[in-house]
Chains A and B, each alone.
Chain A
Amino acid sequence: MSLELVVSNIYKSYDSKSVLRDCSFSFRKGETHVIMGHNGSGKSTFLRICALLEAPDKGEVNYLSGSNILRKDIVLKRRMTLLLPGVGVFNATAFKNVAYGLRIRAIKREEIVERVNRILEFVGLIHKKNQNALTLSSGEIQRIGIARAMVIEPEILFLDEPTASVDQENTEIIEDIILKMRKEGKPIIITTHDKVQAERLADRLLIMQNGKIIS
C-alpha cells in the first residue's frame, strides 16, 4: 500500500520566533511537489517536520496507508528520506556513502554492490566510486547525496534546496536527475528559492511566505 502524507495546521517556533503558522498540505502520489519561498520563509523547517526529523509545536503530521494512520516509528521513517542542504557525507568512499542506507537495513552484500553501482551510474559518478567523498566537489557531493537517498528507494523523497551552493553545470545535472526521477513517477518534495527551477521541476507548486503556505 502506498504512502500518503497529510499535514494539518502545523505551527513551529524557535526561541519564541514563529517559523511556521497554520501550514496544511497533502501529498499526492506520483507527483513532484515544489515548495518555493525566500530564505527564512520556513520551507526547510516545514520539510524537516514532514520528514519527521522535527516535531511541530501544534498541529499534526500523519502518514497514511489506505485508511490507517501509521505509527511514527523507525519502520515508517525508513520508508522516506530527506536530503539535507550540505548533504553531510561520511568520511568514506563514494561507494560506502551510497551503500550506507542499505547496509543499515542489513541488505545482502551482492545486492548492495549491484544497487549502488546502478545508482552511481545514474548520477554520473561511477568513475569516482572509490574516491573519498570528502574530496569531491560540492556539486559531486550533492549528487552523492541524491544517490544515497535514491538507492534506498524511498516512498517519498524530500530534497531541501538540492542545488543551493552548486555551480551551473552541476545544477543542470541535478535538475536532469530530478526530471528523470519525475519521469519514473518517483514521489518527490523539493524546496527551492529559484522560481525558474520551481516551474521547471514542479507538477504542483506551493509558495511559502513568512511561515505560511499562501498558494
Chain B
Amino acid sequence: MPFAPVIVKIYLIFSMNSIIDGFIKSFSLIINLDKELLGIIFLSLNVSGTALVISTLIGVPAGTIIGLKRFPGRGFIISLLNTFMGLPPVVVGLFVYLLLSRSGPLGFMGLLYTPSAMVAAQTVLAFPIVASLCHSAIVNVNPIIKQASVTLGATPYQVATTIVREVRYGILSGIIAGFGRVMAEVGAILIVGGNIAGYTRVMTTTIALETDKGNFELALALGIILLIISFLINILLHIIQRKGRLKTAI
C-alpha cells in the first residue's frame, strides 16, 4: 500500500486544520464577547459563586466548631467530612436529584432543573472541602495562641474568632479549593440542572454537549475560559499560601 502514508498525512493535516479552525473560531467568540458565551460564563460564575458563599457560611463555622470543641461523635464527623471531600459529583447529583424530584422529600419546592438545584448540588460538593480544610487549619494552630487569648481575657467566642483570624490564609485556601472543585464539575449539575439552553446550561455542561454534537468552537472557547479561570484560581491560591507561609515563618 504505497498510498497509505500519504492518506494518513492528508488526514492528519485535515484534522490539524479542523482543530486550528476550531481554535480560531473560539478566539473570535471570546474577542467578540459572544452573547451566548457570556450568558453561559455568567451563569457558571453565579451558580458556583453562590454555592461557594453558602458553603463558606456553613463550612467555616462548622470547621471551627469541630476544630475547637471536643464532643461525642467528633471523630466520626471528621472522617465523614474527609470522605465527602472526594465525593463523585454524579453521586451528589443523584442524591440531590432524589431529594428534589417530584416524589422526593423536597419535591414540593419545584427546584429540579433550575439554577437553585445546581447551587444546592454544588454546595453539597464544596461544603466538605471548606469545612474539612478549615478544621485542618484550626487544629494545626499552635495551642499557645488559644491559651494566650484566654489569659488576656477573651470570651470563648473571642477565642474562636482570634484563632480563625490566625489561620485565615489556610481557610482562604480551603475556600478557593472549594471554588476550583465546583467550577470544574459537570456530573452533578448535569443531573439536577438538565442542561437547558439559556437557563441551566453552564460552561462544563456546554462543553460536554457541544463536543457530543461535534460543535467544537463554543466548546473550545469555554474550555479556554475555564482553563484561564482555573489558572487564575491556582495563582491566587499560590499567592495566599506564600503570604501565609511568609507571615508564619519564624
Contact = CB atoms under 8 A, between A and B. Distances in A.
B153 A152 contact: yes
Candidate in A82, A88, A149, A152 with the most chain B CB atoms within 10 angstroms? A88
A187 interface: no
Given A86-B144, A101-B152, A104-B154, 16 more contacts: A74-B153, A81-B152, A83-B151, A87-B148, A88-B145, A90-B145, A90-B165, A91-B165, A91-B166, A91-B247, A100-B152, A100-B162, A104-B149, A104-B152, A104-B155, A134-B247
Interface string A76-96: 011001111011111110000
A91 B248 contact: yes
Given A90-B166, A91-B166, A91-B248, A81 B144 contact: no
Nearest to B155: A74
B147 A81 contact: no
B148 A53 contact: no
A175 B95 CA distance: 65
Nearest to A135: B250
Given A86-B144, A88-B142, A90-B166, A132 B150 contact: no
Interface residues of A, number: 26
A145 to B, nearest CB: 8
Given A132-B247, A134-B248, A88 B144 contact: yes
Interface string A122-144: 00000000001011000000000
A134 B249 contact: yes
B83 interface: no
Candidate in B151, B153, B165, B249 with the most chain A CB atoms within 10 angstroms? B151
A108 interface: no
A134 B155 CA distance: 24
Question: Does more than half of chain B's interface fall in helix, strand or loop, or is it mixed?
Answer: helix
B235 to A, nearest CB: 23
A104 B144 contact: no
B148 A104 contact: no
B147 A104 contact: no
A53 B147 contact: yes
Contacts of A78: 153
Given A74-B155, A88-B144, A100 B248 contact: no
B152 to A, nearest CB: 4
B249 A148 contact: no
B158 interface: yes
Given A91-B247, A134-B248, A134-B249, A77 B144 contact: no
17 contacts: A53-B150, A74-B153, A81-B153, A82-B151, A83-B151, A87-B144, A88-B148, A89-B148, A91-B166, A101-B153, A104-B152, A104-B155, A134-B248, A134-B250, A135-B250, A152-B152, A152-B153
Given A74-B153, A132-B247, A90 B144 contact: no
Nearest to B145: A88
A149 B248 CA distance: 22
Candidate in B145, B155, B250 with the most chain A CB atoms within 10 angstroms? B250
A190 B149 CA distance: 20
A17 interface: no
A51 interface: yes
A77 B148 contact: no
A93 B58 CA distance: 30
Interface in B135-163: 142, 144-145, 147-155, 158, 162
Given A90-B162, A134-B249, A84 B153 contact: no
